[in-house]
Amino acid sequence: MLDAVLLVLREVLEAALFVAILLALGRKLGMRGAWVWPALLIGLTGSWLLSAQAAAIADAFDGSGAEVLNALLFALAIGCFIIINWLLSDELWDPQQPHSTASQPPRPILDSLFGVIVAASMAREGSEVWIYFSAFGGQPDALLGSLMGGLIGTGLGVSIGVLVYYLFDFQPRRWFLPIYMGLATLVAGGLSMQLARQLMQMGWLDSGRPIWDSGWIVDERGWMGQFLNAAFGYDANPDATQLTCYVVVVLLVLAGIPLRRWRQRVQMEALG
């Protein structure tokens, strides 16, 4: 049962954290959070479909179908985080001043981007949970124990998500936006390292020697390591390819800030 608690907690934590920070962001922007329930429903359905088709998916692309799919889902989430940060860059420079409706990030687009991030995360991580439970099909007692463990793991993951949500919700708007953008940058960077790992696992990229090993500071097996892995894709021994992906994505996420600032200045100068 303890195995089930840990496995499900690990899989649930990423989506719970994504929901928490995106819901908190939406509230600061005056959004109602209408995206949450459809995203959870699509994510749950998607995870079940992926688990039901797991064997066929794994067989595709010469045995690398699962990695291709995971890489696409990682890329989708990274793209959404980049677009959200770019859209928020104007707000960052002047968070106190309410912008005209025309200059505010378009809410339906933000709703969709939030929803895609959460649904992609749930589909990717949740499919493993369904597959795990399917292993206990012929053993009712073991299935019951693992389901109980799964419920506890889900409860723990959701509780951590709720805690993180209120932690952010209490922040004043002028502090929250820079904090969110910093976190989103780290999250997108972490997702890019996981994307690189998929490409290395399927042999499209070569692995290299680890640049460092921070396992003696934060062990990936420990609670802190698991939490940092779920939230920021923490990897104790990344190689050069992963770090290159990380730097490129971080630069892409941050590029919106100076570009939007520059555009604002040009517009101000044009107005005289």
Partner 1 sequence: MRFRACCWLLGMSVSTTTLAATPVFEIDIRDHLFEPAELVIPADTKVKLLVHNLDATPEEFESYELNREKVIMGGTTATIYIGPLPPGVYPYFGEFNPKTAQGIIRVQQGER
Where in 94-153 is the site for partner 1 (CB under 8 A)?
128, 131-132, 134-135
Among 179, 241, 261, 264, binds partner 1 (CB under 8 A): 241
Among 1, 34, 49, 58, binds partner 1 (CB under 8 A): 58
Using the contact rule CB under 8 A, the part of the chain among 12-20, 21-29, 108-116, 229-237 near partner 1 is 229-237
**Beta-carbon contacts of residue 254 (< 8 Å; ≥ 6 apart):** 85, 185
Q: Please tell me whether residue 222 binds partner 1 under the rule CB under 8 A.
A: no
Among 5, 7, 21, 25, binds partner 1 (CB under 8 A): 7
CB of 50 to partner 1, least distance (A): 10
Pattern 201-220, partner 1, x by CB under 8 A = xxxxxxxxx-----x----x
The DSSP letter of residue 204 is: S
CB of 104 to partner 1, least distance (A): 37
CA distance 11 to 152: 13
CB 23 within 8 A of CB 31: no
Q: Can you tell me whether residue 210 is helix, strand or coil?
A: strand
CA distance 129 to 152: 13
Using the contact rule CB under 8 A, the part of the chain among 16-24, 172-180, 196-204, 252-260 near partner 1 is 196-204
CB of 134 to partner 1, least distance (A): 7
CB 71 within 8 A of CB 78: no
CA distance 224 to 60: 35
- Pick from 82, 81, 79, 88: nearest CA to 107: 88
User: In this complex, which beta carbon is closest to partner 1, that of residue 159 or of residue 237?
Assistant: 237
Among 46, 235, 243, 249, binds partner 1 (CB under 8 A): 235
- The residue behind tokens 């929901």 is 19
**Beta-carbon contacts of residue 128 (< 8 Å; ≥ 6 apart):** 7, 11, 51
Binding site for partner 1 (CB under 8 A): 3, 7, 54-55, 58-59, 62-64, 66-67, 128, 131-132, 134-135, 197, 200-209, 215, 220-221, 235-237, 239, 241, 244
